Amino acid sequence: MQLDSIISSIEASRQGMIDDMVEMIRIPAIGPFNGGKGEGERADQVMKYLAGFDSVERVDVPDDCDPTVMRPNILARKNGRGKGTVWIVSHLDTVLPGDLSQWDSPPFEPRVDGDRIYGLGTEDNGQAVIASIYGARFFESGSLSKMSIGLAFVADEETKSLMGIGHLIDAGYFSEDDFILVPDWGVPGGTMVEVAEKHLLWVKVAVKGKQTHGSTPQKGINAFRVSAQLLSDLMFRLAVRYYEEDPLFRPPISTFEPTKTVATVPSVNVIPAYHEFTMDCRILPRYDPDEVMGFIRKVAGEHAARSGADIDVEVEQVTFSGAPSATDTPEFAAFMDSVRAVVDGEVEVTGVGGGTCANFFRVKGMNAYVWECGGGTLHQPNEHVLISNMITDAKVYANLFYRLCV
Ligand SMILES: [Zn+2]
Along the chain (406 residues), what's the average pLDDT of each consecutive run of 10 residues? 95 98 98 95 98 98 94 98 98 95 96 98 97 98 95 94 96 97 96 96 98 97 98 98 95 96 95 98 96 98 98 95 95 98 96 85 96 92 98 98 98
- Cα(365) to centroid(ligand 1), Å: 22
- Cα(93) to centroid(ligand 1), Å: 8
- Cα(69) to centroid(ligand 1), Å: 21
- Cα(179) to centroid(ligand 1), Å: 20
Query: Which helix (H) or strand (E) element contains residue 352?
Result: strand 348-352
- Cα(320) to centroid(ligand 1), Å: 19
Give the separation between CA 343 and CA 371, rounded to whole angstroms. Answer: 12
Give the separation between CA 84 and CA 145, rounded to whole angstroms. Answer: 12
Q: Which residues are CB-neighbours of 28 under 8 A, at least 6 positions away?
A: 36, 37, 41, 42, 94, 108, 120
Rg from Cα positions in the chain: 24
Handedness of CA 127, 133, 137, 139 (dihedral sign): positive
Query: Does 345 sit behind a cis peptide bond, omega within 30 degrees of 0 on the bond before it?
Result: no
- Cα(127) to centroid(ligand 1), Å: 10
- Cα(158) to centroid(ligand 1), Å: 7
CA–CA–CA angle 127, 356, 59 (5° rounding) = 70
Domains in the chain: ranges and CATH: 3-197+322-405 (3.40.630.10), 199-319 (3.30.70.360)
The closest of 209, 185, 310 to 265, measured between CA atoms, is 209
> For residues 44, 6, 150 and 396, what is the CA-based torsion angle, rounded to 10 degrees?
-110
Surface-to-core class of residue 187, CB atoms within 10 Å of its CB (0-12 exposed, 13-18 middle, 19+ buried): middle
- Cα(40) to centroid(ligand 1), Å: 17
- Cα(124) to centroid(ligand 1), Å: 5
Backbone φ, ψ for residue 267 (5° rounding): -115, 145
DSSP state of 286: T
Which residue numbers are catalytic? 93, 157
Give the separation between CA 43 and CA 208, rounded to whole angstroms. Answer: 49
All residues with CB under 5 Å from ion ligand 1: 124-125, 184
- Cα(355) to centroid(ligand 1), Å: 10
Dmax of the chain from CA atoms? 84
Contact yes or no for 71/156 (Cβ under 8 A) = yes
- Cα(185) to centroid(ligand 1), Å: 7
pTM of the prediction?
Answer: 0.88
